[in-house]
Amino acid sequence: MYVCLCQGVTDGQIRDAIYEGCCSYREVRETLGVGTQCGKCACLAKQVVRETLGEVQSGNALAYSANFVAA
């Protein structure tokens, strides 16, 4: 699903950025450019970041992260 139409950023890309080491909305924005034009996506983008960080912290994404590191 597209979160940011201006930059063509999907929720999957935001999740990947977090699995790759981003740990805040600011870092995701700097990495992907999400929310840097019209800004309409900021609210949704922050929500995706928050949800994903929650998953990472609760360990649900550990298997995925481990695969990513191993690959």
| Site for ligand FES, rule CB under 6 A | 4-7, 34-41
Cβ proximity to ligand FES: between 23 and 43 the closer is 43
- Rounded to the nearest whole angstrom, what is the least distance from the CB of residue 8 to ligand FES in the complex? 9
Cβ proximity to ligand FES: between 37 and 60 the closer is 37
User: Phi and psi for 22 in degrees, rounded to 5?
Assistant: -70, 135
Cβ proximity to ligand FES: between 50 and 57 the closer is 50
Alpha-carbon dihedral of residues 55, 60, 62, 63, nearest 10 degrees?
Answer: -140
* Maximum alpha-carbon separation in the chain: 37
